[in-house]
Amino acid sequence: MMRSTTHLPARRLLAAAALCLLVPAAPVAAATIATPSPPAGDASAVAIKAKPGARPVVARAPRGVVVLGGPSVVAAVRPSAAQGGAVKVRFRGRAKVVAKATSLLGGASLPAGACSSKQLTKVLARGALTAADAKALGAALQRRACGGATAADVAVLRRLGLKVPESAPMPQSGASTPTPGPAPSTGATPRPTGGTPTPPPSGGTPGAGGPDADPGTFGACRNGRDDDGDGQIDARGQGANPDPGCMNENDTTETGEKPASAACAAVSGVSMTPGNPTTSAFAAVNRDCGISAEVWVVVQPGVQACDVFTAEPGYVCVIEKLGVAHAYQFLAAGNITDIYDMPLTLTGPADCAKPATIVLERPDLSVEEIVEPIEGCA
C-alpha cells in the first residue's frame, strides 16, 4: 500500500507524457476546392496554392466529367455527353484557389505555375472514358491549355467529345473536301505556327481514309448510313441500332468490332423476364467472356432504365441517348470485372424481330459484340 501511493504520481506523469506524444498537436485540416462548371464540350480549371506534392482527391464529379490535375492545378473536362456542374476536390492541409479559368478550349489560359509541370496529364477521374482515352485527353489538354497543341491533339480532343474552336480546320457539314489550306488562327490560345490542318494523328494512319470514311461531310459514324454493311449504323446516340465499331460520332470508320468468342456468347445474352415478357428484360455477361472495362446493351425499341450487378464494386448503369444501357465503373473504384448482370426496363414492348446487342469494351480498347435474338421474346 505504502509502496503504491509513493510511486503513483510518478507513473501518472509518465503515462500523461506518453499520451501527449501519441496525440497530434492539431488535426490536419482538409480543404475542399471547386472548379467552375465547364460548358458542354469544354473544360474549366482552377490554379491552386497547396503544399508541393499534395494530391487532390475527387470528392464530387458530375456524371461523365473527367477530372485531371495535381497540387497546383485541377481541371474539369466535360465531353458533350457529360452532365454539367462543378467538380469538388479535397486536399489534405491548406489549399486555396489563386486563379480560375471557365473555358480552356474557348481560349482562357492558365497561370505559368499551372503549366510548368505536366499535372493536367494526371487523371483523377476518368468519367465515361477508358483509361487510355482519359490519359490521351489529359496530354492533349495540357498542350492545348499551355501552348504547343498539335493537329493530332485537336483530333484527340474532338474525338473524345470536346468542342475545339475552328482555329484548326475540321471538315464541316457542306464542306466539299478536307483540302489543306492555311489555318485561320482565330483561337486566343497560344498555338504553334504552321497550322497544318490535317486531323489524322502522326504515324500515317491509313485507316482514316478507308472504304467507309466519308470525307466532305460528317464521318462514317454520324452520316446516318450503314457504311460497313453489318446492319448497325453510326455511333451511340446517333441512331437506334448503333455500330460498336464507332468509338464516338467523330470516328471515321464503323469497322473494328469483332464477335465475342462462342464460349462467351453461349453463356451471355439478353432475355425477357418470364413474368413480364413485354418490357422487362435482363442482359447477362458471364465468366467465359473475360474481363471487360465497360459493357453497353442495345435492345429495341430502347432501354429506359437499367441497373448493374457485378463481381466488383463501384459500377453504375446509365441510359444514354436513344435508350442504350451503359454499365461502367464510376470513379475507378476497384478492379474491373468479367460478370455483368443488368436488369433492363424497355421504353415499349420489345421488338422481337430485331436482335439485341451486347458490346464488350476490353481494357486494351478492343471491342467485341454479341448479336443475338432476344431470348423468350414472343
Here the cell at position 100 is 480560375
Contact 246, 230 (CB under 8 A): no
Q: How far apart are CA 207 and CA 144, in angstroms?
A: 25
Which residues have CB under 8 Å from 4's CB, separation 6+?
none
Minimum separation from the CB atom of position 139 to Ca ion (A): 28
Residue among 218 and 330 whose Cβ is closer to Ca ion: 218
CB of 209 to Ca ion, least distance (A): 15
Closer by beta carbon to Ca ion, 230 or else 312: 230
**Closest residue to Ca ion: CB criterion:** 245
Q: What is the CA angle 195-75-69, rounded to 5?
A: 105
Residue closer to Ca ion, measured from CB, 221 or 264: 221
For the CB of residue 232, give the shortest distance to Ca ion in the complex, in Å. Answer: 5
CA distance 244 to 122: 28
Of 68, 65, 87, 76, the C-alpha closest to 43 is: 76
Nearer to Ca ion, 243 or 361 (CB): 243
Could you say which DSSP state residue 159 is in? H
Choose among 259, 292, 299: nearest CA to 130.
Answer: 292
User: For Ca ion, which is the closer residue by CB, 255 or 278?
Assistant: 255
Cβ closest to Ca ion, residue 250 vs residue 329: 250
Show the DSSP H helices in the chain as ranges. Answer: 2-22, 112-115, 131-146, 151-159, 262-267
Which residues lie near Ca ion (CB under 5 A)? 220, 223, 225, 227-228, 230, 234, 243, 245, 254
Choice between 243 and 338, CB closer to Ca ion? 243
DSSP conformation letters of 314-336: SEEEEEETTTEEEEEETT--S--
Cβ-proximal residues to 68 (8 Å cutoff; 6+ apart), any chain: 74, 75, 77, 119, 120, 121, 122, 123, 124, 137, 138, 141
Check: CB of residue 130 under 8 Å from CB of residue 147. Answer: no
Min dist. Cβ of residue 281 to Ca ion (A): 23
Nearer to Ca ion, 245 or 355 (CB): 245
SS3 content of the chain, % helix, strand, coil (to 5): 20, 30, 55
* Least CB distance to Ca ion at residue 368 (A): 12
Residue 151 Cβ vs Ca ion, minimum distance, rounded to whole Å: 24
Q: Cell 503544399: give the residue.
A: 51
Residue 257 beta carbon to Ca ion: minimum distance, rounded to whole angstroms: 5
Q: How far is the CB of 127 from Ca ion (least distance, A)?
A: 25
